[in-house]
Structure 1
């Protein structure tokens, strides 16, 4: 087994194998997750009794990008032990493998588990460290946006069910400082992140207020025409609703420009919120964006599912992903801008969120039938134009606030990225020559694993799954 240790460069730092990836500080090593962790262990270290209560952790219980987990829900182990749910225990690292949970940063250290154990979503990879890497250090490393972007480029599967495969995660190499230095890094990272999060909490509240203001403005504009005939969206379409396509991101910058979900969440159709994918040109002829196309998120977190936005821009600028549904309306009956206003009213957003379906622990989803069945008042076209103009005048007052919030969010993300980059390149905290080199601990772990592999193992019959992988989840 090769640990991928660097060679001394002569100045106290070690060059990374392969070149071009930077240098490691003295005492650091580089190792794969397969060398550092037991990836997706099949059992607990200490099996609970049937009558024991343990935590249940659906996907919704892991916060995006914060590393926090809600382990307050519990189940009786005997009622669920035969189900093909994910088993994990205190200090395991959870890594959401499915889109969009992984991209959103649903990664956490399992903490505060009832009796130290839990059953969770089948959409988690579980990393149980072998001692050479701290769970918190590993979690913060994986939470880096560039790490998640690279994982996204290596997802497999299609049709909104793309996942990070286990072999990719096992082969992922990370820099490993001495254990004592990892503790110093984690302490400093968490101190600094607590300050960043305080600002981010304020920004999140400001974002919610801006969103609420926009919805309230839309509510007022649409309710003014409540006496007009009400129409179902299905009867106002110029063509059937259409999902996008799921395609793998490319690494060389060649391919098809494709929207990301953030384009709709932030109501910003800019290159910042696109990626280049390997979408098949033969399958995407009808997926190119046109001016005044409306897009609805068919799957996301509970607070974002059903979010919509209207595209204003040049034709054929990009395509859209499978997790978005495109709406094109008959403009002789209803204007796209007016339809977009209706779709972001609180009444329709509440309808989407209340009716979103999904197995417990997975992201809630809405389908085309739900969208087709929404209804709203449709006045004459000139009245629709008046409503649109009134909304633009009202929103002009909050646009500067929205722009400043967006700018601050970008700066906060850059600050967090810079902090983590410093942590994992050895510049956040000083090195201590007295620390045991990471290579020494890794060598001992390697030797112990080799010895364990030679020992005779008791053969056990594998229990059949009660449901296909990824399909069985915990009840809410």
Structure 2
């Protein structure tokens, strides 16, 4: 916000131009709210608001009318792309995580205020490290720009027109983003259940080597590698192999075929351990920002089944765990610990950076050269794999874990090698197209965000709508409003007229007589009419009657039934006497 103000504008601290109504706030925990609303119809409930929006419902209200809620804590104060304030109206309840604000009547529009608060830079006003807080004292020091009131109205109308068009475009981009994510999942599913290459199989006929035959060959090579290592160890130690040493070969865990879906002809289920040459956990050594070292992939570097080379950390080139923990082309990276939603995400390292290592929350699996790692990754990232992760993950303090033993036992589909290559090629092509579409969507969202910011900046620089030199300047308006307020404060406050308690009691008695005579449900409006309360009666009189009715309801003397329409909106109340 520039220091050079447009003609007729003023700059004021928030506390001077906004009514802070935090006295209306009251927190109620979720269990208490649940108890209070249990069994009550939706029409009798009121929104319960927090730092960034509605967080539930409650059976009463403490605030009423149009106001602005600004987060006190828990709001994204330093994220320029997210809102910190929002409008509310009607009857509602606010907890202690949001400030309740109302623009000075006749001087500051609430709609103008909420847009300005969402453009404000909060760096100098919030405190805290993990959970930022905007205290009332700090909030009142926030500078606000105040145009003439009529200009505020024009700005908001134009602003909301432009932002509405922009939001519609953003909604379309996000819908395309969701559609792309669904397409990715359907592609993974088709890849691992054989649907992706169904036509190819039909055209090429039976393979020279089936998946079962390929698995047997992989297992034979696996045993041969173990025997070669054992013989090399005997030779290194200068020992003659003992009789029967081959019998000590540790057989890999076979795939558990329970509840597994059928596979195409020629495919077979195999465990990850059967297909593996090696499996290792990553390094737990402390990394640094020195990019002259070896990059270390962490769980955040696996995104949508791909390796993301942004936000890297490093270990020194001469780190003691190297070269043992350096990745090799084709290594499968499995995220063993993360949130329940993200644990198990998997990608294949394809020498995006070399040399490269990986952190302890990842497991690197080196697969047989006859098993294409992209297909194993596709299975783990598919809906099939996500169900498996959910079934085997253990939970600890908000984190989920799938260890190496469970990963080794995972059953994955193994197709004939030539078909694996075909699937991998189709997946690669489709992923490239999807990546291009995803990048186009992200560019569109970034452009929309930048455009939104530019529109807001123009609005609060006086460049969005023309100024009218004949309108009362904001400074003059504020002086006049404050003078009027000071003058009104000197005047004695009129005493609020109240109905004598005896009169209300008499009306309640008459109401009971009406309900006794009716003997059945009667609309509250009709019952009040028969008691002499006309449609044009004062609101406070009706409220006093309703207060008495609530007491009678609690005492079991009468029942109050709310009648709603098909959308759950309240139409009216019915009354019925329960005792004679």
Please state how far the C-alpha of 1:164 moved relative to its aligned partner.
2.7
Does the alignment pair 1:177 with 2:147? yes
* Change in CA separation of 1:189 and 1:309 when aligned onto 2, cut-off 3 Å: farther
SS of the residue corresponding to residue 152 of structure 2 reads: helix
2:465 is the counterpart of 1:419: no
Deviation at 1:432, TM superposition (A): 1.9
* Corresponding position of 2:8: 27
Q: Secondary structure at the match of 1:403?
A: helix
Higher relative contact order (Cα pairs below 8 Å, separated by 6+ residues)? 1
Work out the CA distance in 2 between the residues paired with 1:314 and 1:434.
Answer: 66
Which residue does 2:526 correspond to in 1? none
Match of 1:105 among 60, 68, 82: 82
**Matches of residues 97-246 of structure 1 in structure 2 within 5 Å?**
97-98=73-74, 103=79, 105-113=82-90, 115-119=91-95, 124-131=97-104, 132-144=107-119, 147=120, 151=123, 156-157=128-129, 162-167=130-135, 169-224=139-194, 228-229=269-270, 238-239=280-281
SS where residue 26 of structure 1 aligns? coil
| Structure with higher helix content | 2
Output the TM-score relative to the length of structure 2.
0.47
CA distance in 2, matches of 1:406, 1:444: 49
Q: Is the 8 A contact 1:196 1:416 kept in 2?
A: yes
With normalisation by structure 1, the TM-score equals 0.55
Give SS of 1:228's match. strand
Would the alpha carbon gap of residues 139 and 209 (structure 1) be closer, same or farther in structure 2, given more than 3 Å must change? same
Separation in structure 2 between the aligned mates of residue 110 and residue 53 of structure 1, nearest angstrom: 19
- Distance in structure 1 (CA, Å) of the matches to 2:132 and 2:19: 17
1:30-109 → structure 2 map (5 Å cutoff):
30-37=11-18, 41-43=22-24, 53-57=45-49, 74-77=57-60, 90-95=66-71, 97-98=73-74, 103=79, 105-109=82-86
Distance 2:372 2:481 in 1: 65
In structure 1, the residue corresponding to 2:281 is in which secondary structure? coil
Structure-2 change in CA distance of 1:345 and 1:33 (3 Å): farther
For 1:424 and 1:432, the matched residues in 2 are separated by 16
Larger radius of gyration: 2
2:524 corresponds to = none
Residue aligned with 2:157, SS: helix
CA drift of 1:77 comes to 3.8
Summarize deviations over 1:105-154 as a string: whole Å, max 9, x none: 254534354x34445xx6x432403414333223323434xx57x65996
Distance 1:77 1:192, change over 3 A: same
Please state whether the residue corresponding to 1:198 is helix, strand or coil.
Answer: helix
What is the deviation of 1:423? 0.8
8 Å contact 1:134–1:182 — kept in the other structure? yes
Q: In the TM superposition, what is the alpha-carbon distance from 1:192 to its structure 2 partner?
A: 1.0
What residue number does 2:441 align with? 405
Following superposition, the deviation at residue 211 of structure 1 comes to 1.1
Equivalent residue, structure 1, for 2:237: none
For 1:197, what is the secondary structure of its paired residue? helix
Contact 1:296 1:309 in 2 (8 A): no
Displacement of 1:26? 1.8
- The alpha-carbon distance between structure 1 residues 76 and 395, as it changes in their structure 2 partners (threshold 3 A), is same
Q: Can you give the 5+ residue segments of structure 2 that lack an aligned partner in the other structure? A: 27-35, 38-43, 195-210, 212-259, 261-267, 288-297, 322-326, 490-580
Distance change in 2, residues 1:211/1:77 (3 Å): same
Shift of 1:190: 0.7
Distance in 2 between residues matched to 1:340 and 1:153, nearest whole Å: 46
Q: Partners of 2:84 and 2:430 in 1: how far apart?
A: 39
Over 3 Å counting, the alpha-carbon distance change for 1:378 and 1:308 in structure 2 is: closer
- Is 1:428 aligned to residue 464 of structure 2? yes
Q: Given the alignment, which residue of 386, 400, 417 partners 1:368?
A: 400
Instruction: Provide, for residues 12-68 of structure 1, a one-character-per-residue CA deviation record: whole Å limited to 9, x for no partner.
Output: xxxx8xxxx4522122223344444456814259xxxx9974212467xx6xxxxxx
Distance 1:95 1:350, change over 3 A: farther
Say whether the 8 Å CA contact 2:147–2:474 is kept in structure 1. yes
